[in-house]
Amino acid sequence: MRKKRSPLTPKTRSVLCCILLFPLSLGAEGFRNSAPGAYALGQSGGRNAFIDDASAALHNPANLVDLATGDGIDALISPTLVHIKSEFKVDGGGRARTKDPLKVLPNLFITAPGPNERLAFGLSLTVPYGLATGWEKSGPFGPGGELRYLAPFESEMLTLQINPVVAYRVNEQLSVAFGLSALYSELSFKQFFPQVMAPLPLVANETVAEADMDGWGIGANFAVSWDVTERDRLALTLRSKTSIKHKGDSRIGALTPQAEAFGFTGRGSAETRVTYPWIIGLAYGRKLSDALLLEVQYERVGFSDFEELNIDLGNNNPLFGGANVTRQDWKDSHTFGLGLRYDHGDGLRTHASLQYFKSPVPDDTLSTTIPDGDQIALTLGITKRWDRAYAGLAYSYVDYESRRAEIGGVTGKIGTQLHLFAINAGWRF
């Protein structure tokens, strides 16, 4: 049986292929979100070695044997508030801006002691990847705009990671931890689709193409904390990659009888696979005094597995120019950071850090869908622990590199502004 050929001209196919370049997120790094928790955000550049609140269940669960002691169970709710704006200035043309800049990422951490002092348990429910983004439907995304048919005007990546862990104290200097994670991922986009009347009348008028897909994947993580001396600690954290096959529905309106005769449908299937990256972190912490602590940290994130984006729209593939494979060619990213913690006494601490993020997105595949760039993050935080309760607040300003991009032959400059806030509210039961 012969493969169904597209009834579109090569020029029309090249335009429609751009429609499938839907974004994965506007995250703090590639499509990775910022460190959750007021302690972790306030000390983001160097946090993993000595982190000792319930969010250690995610960041370095090997430390849980120091935290989860006695009979108490710690529970920490820590939402992250994200205020992000992006802008694309078309060369010699209009200016596209994102809307609805405020996003909320919920996070929950629970820790519990084991049957003896060598064991401890933890659970984290977090949003490790993805944010929603929407562009104003005016200017370049408005009627007649340069980007109207070249990029989605609304897109969303939602993730939820459920990560139980167990920690074990090997001896007084060494502790380890292991966990399994279940990662849920949901992708969606909305894109203006042009009228298609040549060489055959297929789409009667401008319409909107949409897709919604979701799926689950399983991963693992491992951590080690080693007290080299009474004042020095090394921490190693590893997280596996998680590959998720997403399945769902696609929709497009205004199809003509001729399009339906070709087998195209207003509602069809949608499938794609996304591999969320492996992460390796190495942290060194030193207690400079009884009150002041210094940490340095390096992370490498395996974004190089994101080589292409392949979206299968089933029977509607020929309408979109065939089964579409879009080159990404991302690189592994690197982060370097420095963090400080000062203990004022009576459970009061202040935190600060400086962190550099190297973008994984190369110049030739940068687009409005993932307007990423190299970043420098400055963070401040304050945490307070009472007998049973604890609270915290942290802020991060992220300075994004402005970069040039080409989307379907349209060139311009992309800029992003990002502010992050984390709030802690915890209780020992």
Q: What is the pLDDT of residues 152-179, one digit of tens each?
A: 888 888 999 999 999 999 999 999 999 9
CATH code, 134: 2.40.160.60
Q: Is the pLDDT score of 11 beyond 90?
A: no
In a domain, 201, yes or no: yes
What was the pLDDT predicted at 334?
A: 93
- The arithmetic mean of pLDDT across residues 283-303, rounded, is 97
In a domain, 1, yes or no: no
Alpha-carbon span 236 to 242, nearest angstrom: 20
Residue 4 CB-half CA count within 13 A: 17
Maximum separation of any 2 CA atoms in the chain, in Å: 78
In a domain, 330, yes or no: yes
Residue 208 CB-half CA count within 13 A: 12
What was the pLDDT predicted at 29?
A: 64
Q: Whole-prediction pTM value?
A: 0.90
Judged by DSSP in three states, 195 sits in coil
- Where in the sequence is the domain holding 197, given as residue range(s)? 10-428
Share of the chain above pLDDT 90, in %: 62
pLDDT tens-digit readout, 335-376: 999 999 999 999 999 999 999 999 898 888 877 767 788 999
What was the pLDDT predicted at 68?
A: 66
Q: Mean pLDDT in the chain?
A: 89
Window from 208-212, 292-296, 364-368, 378-382 with minimum mean pLDDT: 364-368
pLDDT tens-digit readout, 63-80: 999 986 667 899 999 999
In a domain, 305, yes or no: yes
Alpha-carbon span 305 to 313, nearest angstrom: 23
Q: Is the pLDDT score of 17 beyond 70?
A: no
In a domain, 5, yes or no: no
User: What's the pLDDT band for 322 if we cut at 50, 70, 90?
Assistant: low
pLDDT tens-digit readout, 122-137: 999 999 998 777 889 8
User: How many structural domains does the chain have?
Assistant: 1
In a domain, 4, yes or no: no
Alpha-carbon span 230 to 228, nearest angstrom: 7
Q: Is the pLDDT score of 40 beyond 90?
A: yes
Question: 44 and 32 in contact (C-beta within 8 Å)?
Answer: no
